[in-house]
Amino acid sequence: MADQTARADFASVPGNDELKRRLARSIRENTLGHAYVLEGSGIILPFAKEIAKAALCLGSGPIPCGECDACRKIDAGTHPDVTFISRGDRASIGVDTIRSVRAEAYIIPSEAERKIYVIEDADTMTAEAQNAFLLTLEEPPEYVLYLLLCRNSDNLLETVRSRAPSLRCRPCTPDELGEYVLRTIGAKARTLRDRDPDAWEELILISDGDPALAASLLESGALTKKIETKRQALSLLLGALSRDDDTVVTVSGMKKLRRDDALELITCMRGALRDMLISKKTNAAGTCFFPSADDAVNAAQSYPARRLAVALDAVSECGALIERNAAVTTSLLSMTIKIRNSQ
């Protein structure tokens, strides 16, 4: 039997079936607009690439075919009519970048029927850049398609948003993400799943529905460090809650902890406390730190909700202090003691 997923439109994009159907229909019926905001987690960049391929695909059948000249060139980053704009190391996308996009967009496409600009982190465009962009959104060349990628379109000017409908991508479910990671990364992902199921489960959990994050964790080897940070966060948290004196000693000794690593630790503790607090109310909610709701229930059972709430406040406060450059060890120690002494 033929592989069902291989025959669907946007087969390589996990989840988001309704959105994929809508986009495929617009492309086939040639009713695609000139600008869209693609909003969501790390899935949006690979999705945007697939939209560009689908819009220019020369194949028949499901789009994008992945095999025609246009699809191949976009995959290789060599299609002359598809441009990805990123802010690189800068904090924002400035007006000069947008002005050159605007000028270039008026030159007719070299080989395709459309000219596509994918603007990554579009919500970091400065107000000046957005105003410059607005000029081309008001009267775009008929062949142009702009895809504005952002985590949160609230940061875009209302005038930009009103001319670029938002396509909201929802994060994928753990099953969809697992399937996607296996398919796109292949052997390395399969090896992890088969040899270390716990680490595999952590990968799916940590990446929180974001395929790009899952891929980069796996490729960069950062997964092991993430898992170690989570283990340490849980150990410190439960140590403080159970008034274990060794935990205070451990934290006092964490003199070399880097600020970034401390903030990672704080993020993990907050996730754990969030799961534990929610587990006091309902078993049905999804978890962000523990592999399952049952694990969160087990971790939380010895502590009343009010102590967990105090701990969450203490952890959040500690994170805010460290972000404002307060001394790392002192802040962590003060947090630990607050949690330990809570009633």
For Zn ion, the binding residues (CB under 5 A) are 57, 59, 64-65, 68, 71
Closer of 68 and 263 to Zn ion (Cβ): 68
Concatenating the DSSP letter of every residue in 76-140 gives HT--TTEEEE--TTSSSB-HHHHHHHHHHHTSPPSSSS-EEEEETTGGGB-HHHHHHHHHHHHS-
> Least distance (Å) from Zn ion to the CB of residue 212?
22
Closer of 77 and 197 to Zn ion (Cβ): 77
> Least distance (Å) from Zn ion to the CB of residue 216?
26
Sheet of 115-119: strand order equals: 82-85, 115-119, 144-150, 35-39, 166-168
Closer of 68 and 185 to Zn ion (Cβ): 68
Helices vs strands, H then E, count in the chain: 16, 5
Alpha-carbon span 144 to 212, nearest angstrom: 27
- 297, with CB counted inside 10 A (0-12, 13-18, 19+), is middle
> Least distance (Å) from Zn ion to the CB of residue 60?
9
> Least distance (Å) from Zn ion to the CB of residue 289?
41
Closer of 8 and 68 to Zn ion (Cβ): 68
Closer of 63 and 147 to Zn ion (Cβ): 63
3-state secondary structure (DSSP) of residue 8: coil
> Least distance (Å) from Zn ion to the CB of residue 64?
5
DSSP conformational letter for 171: P
> Least distance (Å) from Zn ion to the CB of residue 169?
22
- The type of residue at 153 is S
**Paired residues of 84 in beta bridges:** 118
For the CA atoms of the chain, what is the radius of gyration? 24
> Least distance (Å) from Zn ion to the CB of residue 207?
28
Residues 166 and 153 sit within 8 Å (Cβ to Cβ)? yes
Instruction: Provide φ and ψ at 37, rounded to 5°.
Output: -95, 125
Closer of 64 and 171 to Zn ion (Cβ): 64
Closer of 65 and 309 to Zn ion (Cβ): 65
Closer of 23 and 315 to Zn ion (Cβ): 23
- Using CA atoms of 330, 331, 333, 337 in order, give the dihedral in degrees to the nearest 10: 130
> Least distance (Å) from Zn ion to the CB of residue 36?
20
Closer of 68 and 134 to Zn ion (Cβ): 68
> How far does Cα 143 stand from its chain's mean position?
30
Spatial neighbors of 52 by CB under 8 A, at least 6 apart, are 74, 79, 82, 116, 118, 145, 147
> Least distance (Å) from Zn ion to the CB of residue 113?
13
